[in-house]
Structure 1
Amino acid sequence: MLKLFRIVIVLICCIIICVLGTLYSFIRFRNPSNVGVVARWFGRLHGLFGLQTEYRFSARAENIGPCIYIGNHQNNYDMVTISYMVRERTVSVGKKSLIWVPFFGILYWVSGNILLDRDNRSKAHGTMTELARRINRDQLSIWMFPEGTRSRGRGLLPFKTGAFHAAIAAGVPIVPVVCSTTHNQVDLNRLDNGKVICEMMAPVDISAYGKDNVRELAAYCHDLMEKRIAELDAEIAADKAR
């Protein structure tokens, strides 16, 4: 019964957010700060899933300037956990097919996000070049999931290099954002589903990297994030044991 109740309430809340978010975003048509506003609306739904979520922001969060945020992409619960970490003037890059998702698709586009045609490799490469241009022209930050797909309990998957090419081309730092492991954590029939920690890590200086060693940058960031996720998981496990 609890599961059914949650599904109905969450569905209603998501539709309301999508409708209100679309209207809000049409008023401020494709304003880059729309994305963070709507993302935080979704982030406030975490309690409906029985989650207690702690958000940790870098001490420099307000003064980083344009950058590329990279987050770990686990499952659909990312929408109510790590999404809350999206900052002002930050837009995301998603696959073009998202436009056809009922309610959410039009919101995703009108709020200012960038749609990527993943089936066309030449267009995808051009999009990374366009990202770099827009970052500097419009003073934007970009949010990306470099794994390219949900990990679904497989750990932090290998990173694709698009986000890192864009950061190098634009000359902006990479800012890792990590969320503790949520795979198999949520049971919709359980009242309390425990704690989740989302953390913005310190910016990674990309000045020593270029096109020739972009994979080294991706591997370095992957290692940083993998270690920090393990530390957050250990912290949560220790809290449970007390």
Structure 2
Amino acid sequence: MLLFLRAIIVVFAALLICLLGTVYSLIRFKNPSNVGVVARWFGRLHPLFGLKVEHRFPAGAENNGPCIYIGNHQNNYDMVTMAYMVMPRTVSVGKKSLALIPFFGLLYWASGNILLDRDNKSKAHSTMGELAKRINRDKLSIWMFPEGTRSRGRGLLPFKTGAFHAAIAAGVPIVPVCCSNLHHKIDLNRWDNGKVICEMLAPIDTSNYSRENVRELMNHCHAVMKQKIDQLDQELAQQHLG
């Protein structure tokens, strides 16, 4: 019964956000702050899933300036946990097929997100250069999931290089955003599904990296994020025992 009620409420709330967000985004067509506003609307839905979410931002996060945010991509529940972490003037990069999703697709496009043709690898590589130009021209930040797919309980997957090439080309820092483990923690038939912590880390300088050593930057960011995710999981485990 709880599952059924939740499903109805969540679908209604998501549709409402999509409709209102689309109208809002069409009025401010592709304004770079649209995405952050609508993302935070989705980020406030977490109580409907029986979740408590703690969002942690470092001091001065609002002054990061243009950068590339990278997050760990676990599953569809990222929309109600990590979405609240999206900062003003930040847009995401997604595959073109997202625009075809009913209701959500129009919102995703109108709010100003960037759509890539991921099936065309040569075009996607050149797009990273165009992405870097847009970051500097429009003073944008970009949100990316460098794993390229949902991890679904497999831990932090290996990263792809696109986000790091773009950061180096644009001369902007990388800002990791980490969320504690969500896999198999949400049961929609259960009132209380516990707590999740999402934490934004300090910017990682990219000025000492180039195309030749981009994988060093990628591996460094992967190690930093893995360590933080492990710390968050341990912290929650200790809180549960306490």
Q: State the TM-score, normalized to the length of structure 1.
A: 0.99
What per-residue deviation string (whole Å, max 9, x for no partner) do you get for residues 85-107 of structure 1?
00000000000000110100010
> Following the alignment from structure 1 to structure 2, what is the Cα–Cα distance between the partners of residues 205 and 180?
24
CA distance in 2, matches of 1:155, 1:219: 15
Distance in 2 (alpha carbons) for counterparts of 1:60 and 1:176: 15
Q: CA shift at 1:63, angstroms?
A: 1.2
Deviation at 1:62, TM superposition (A): 1.3
5+ unaligned residues in a row in structure 2: which ranges? none
CA distance in 2 between partners of 1:119 and 1:47 (Å) = 37
- The superposition leaves residues 1-57 of structure 1 with CA deviations (integer Å, 9 ceiling, x where unpaired) of 001110111001000000000000000000010000000000000000000000000
Mapping for residues 168-179 of structure 1, pairs under 5 Å: 168-179=168-179
How far apart are residue 137 of structure 1 and its match?
Answer: 0.3
| Count of residue correspondences | 242
Whether 1:50 and 2:50 are equivalent positions in the alignment is: yes
Letter in 2 for 1:67: C
TM-fit CA distance, 1:125:
1.0
CA distance in structure 1 between the aligned counterparts of 2:111 and 2:196, rounded to whole angstroms: 27
Identity fraction in percent: 72
| Structure 2 residue 106 is matched with structure 1 residue 87 | no
Q: For 2:40 and 2:63, how far apart are their aligned partners in 1?
A: 20
Q: What letter corresponds to residue 239 of structure 1 in structure 2?
A: Q
* Distance in 2 between residues matched to 1:9 and 1:116, nearest whole Å: 32
Matched, 1:63 2:63: yes
User: What's 1:4 paired with?
Assistant: 4
Map of 1:24-43 to 2, 5 A cutoff? 24-43=24-43
Structure 1: which 4+ aligned runs deviate by more than 6 Å?
A: none
Where do 1:138-217 residues align within 5 Å?
138-217=138-217
Give the AA of the match of 1:185: K
Which stretches in structure 1 are left out of the alignment for 5+ residues? none
Report the 3-state secondary structure (helix = DSSP H, G, I; strand = E; otherwise coil) of the residue aligned with 1:163.
Answer: helix
Deviations 1:145-185 (A, max 9, x none): 00000000000000000000000000000000000000000
* Structure 1 residue matching 2:44: 3-state secondary structure: helix
Which amino acid in the other structure matches residue 177 of structure 1? V
Deviation at 1:60, TM superposition (A): 2.2
